[in-house]
Amino acid sequence: MGAYVSTFFLMQFDLPFMVIAAIVMGMTGIFSLIVSFAAVKLNDNYFILGSLGFLMIAYTILYNWTDVTFSPYGIPRIKILRLWDISGVWGYFVLTILLSADVIWFFRRIKNFPYGRVLKAMRSDELSVKALGRNTVKFKSWDFFLSAALSCLTGLIYTSYVSYIDSTSFTLDESIFIISALFIGGVGNIKGPIVGAAFVVLLPEILRFIGMPDAIAANMRQIIYGLTLVLVMYFSPKGLWGEFVMK
């Protein structure tokens, strides 16, 4: 959603980056609230199956509805407040670091707020939270909104950097890639996902530096991913830096 909504506004309107980011976050967050009406009623494996089902529906729509998704077309470079014309690897690297730092700061703050403490209690014992009078469905829905609104920023940066977007960039493989990072790094805190993401992103670069051919490196990467997941789940079910076991 973040990638395609940002593509539309980048192609149709000459708006600064901050304005487009706000629009994309708002629209993606609202859409996630609609999805949450059904998703929050599912638990454990049913929630996973429901999420995968929605992924396949979204992929099919993006793949076929070309009049709306603009998948065959490129998009222009983005500008921050019309002052910074971002181009090249280093420009996007700085932008990504700044946005990542803002997101990390936001979650560190929200973790200590009453809202964050309620979410942590729901993770441990949702029934007890209900007994204390908290509307857990409402908290889950807002959780959907916040996670989608912040995650969509990656879609905005990605589409602008590659200047091309199509539905094959958002398949089941990408979801497995993200889940692998969470399993390896761990969840329940801020450090775990960062460690897991760094591992799965830097691994291909390490294989490239040792001079391994691309055809072999691609297979070795999958082998290392699988082996790492097995070892982590066996010796450290919480992940390398997580606080609780993912179910």
Residue 90: pLDDT band (50, 70, 90) is confident
Q: What is the pTM of this model?
A: 0.80
- pLDDT tens for 65-82 read 777 776 666 566 666 655
Residue 196 CB neighbours (<10 A):
26
Q: Spell out the SS3 assignment of 31-72.
A: HHHHHHHHHCCCCHHHHHHHHHHHHHHHHHHHHHCHHHHCCC
CA angle (187 as vertex; 181, 191 as ends), nearest 5: 80
Share of the chain above pLDDT 90, in %: 4
Q: Which of 176, 175, 193, 171 is nearest to 184 (CA)?
A: 193
- pLDDT tens for 155-188 read 888 887 887 777 777 888 888 888 888 888 888 8
CB 9 within 8 A of CB 141: no
Query: Is the model's pLDDT at 234 over the cut of 70?
Result: yes
For the chain, helix (H) and strand (E) counts, in that order, are 11, 2
Query: Is the model's pLDDT at 145 over the cut of 60?
Result: yes
- The β-bridge relationship of strands 84-85 and 79-80 is antiparallel
Which H/E stretch holds residue 80?
strand 79-80
